[in-house]
């Protein structure tokens, strides 16, 4: 993506800001203030009940948080009734579990991409450039057959059953 000013100003012109097409977090953080506060209350309740950020190390986390998310949806599809354990809205619990699930899935994707890049001999800079450009094959470059064959054993360390849905 080529950076440009949404008003058409040249980048060296006073008042130019090259932010056209970039993510606008204020739309989420400012637009969902009350919902995010409710999700924050769920996170705080969970941290007091368990540990701060302990959810990051729950075995098989994405599946378990999917199940928890769906339990809250089934408990109250409208989402306005309260969870009996916390007294907080089921919808807030559902949203927290969805965020935990997404965060764990994205972390797993980054881990798998790094392992694959290492196995194929990509440097951190090449992986960062490929990620920045979001091109599926950018930065890999051709590998000689013998070099590729030498690196294939490292690919055995990757849980390939998890790669498809994450990429």
pLDDT grade for 4, boundaries at 50, 70 and 90: very high
Q: Following DSSP, what letter does each residue of 47-106 receive, concatenated?
A: HHHS-TTGGGG-TTHHHHHHHHHHHHHHH-TT--SBPTTT-SBHHHHHHHHHHHHHHHHH
The per-residue pLDDT for range 97-123, each reduced to its tens digit, is 999 999 999 999 999 888 888 878 777
The per-residue pLDDT for range 117-153, each reduced to its tens digit, is 887 877 767 766 766 665 444 344 444 455 555 555 5
* Higher local confidence (pLDDT), 44 or 163: 44
Neighbours of 21 (CB within 10 A): 11
Give the pLDDT score at 10.
95
For the cut 70, the answer to whether the pLDDT of residue 157 exceeds it is: no
Q: Domain map of the chain by residue range?
A: 26-166
């Amino acid at each position: 993506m080529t950076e440009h000013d949404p008003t058409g100003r040249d980048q060296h012109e006073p008042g130019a800001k090259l932010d056209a097409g970039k993510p606008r977090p204020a739309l989420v953080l400012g637009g969902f203030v009350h919902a995010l506060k409710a999700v924050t209350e769920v996170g705080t309740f969970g941290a007091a009940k368990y540990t701060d950020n302990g959810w990051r190390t729950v075995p098989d986390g994405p599946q378990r948080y999917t199940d928890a998310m769906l339990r809250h949806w089934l408990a109250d599809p409208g989402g306005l009734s309260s969870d009996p354990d916390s007294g907080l809205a089921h919808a807030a619990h559902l949203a927290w579990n969805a965020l935990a699930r997404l965060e764990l899935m994205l972390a797993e994707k980054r881990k798998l991409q790094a392992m694959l890049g290492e196995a194929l001999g990509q440097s951190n800079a090449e992986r960062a450039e490929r990620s920045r450009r979001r091109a599926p094959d950018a930065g890999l470059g051709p590998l000689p057959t013998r070099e590729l064959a030498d690196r294939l054993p490292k690919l055995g360390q990757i849980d390939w059953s998890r790669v498809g849905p994450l990429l």
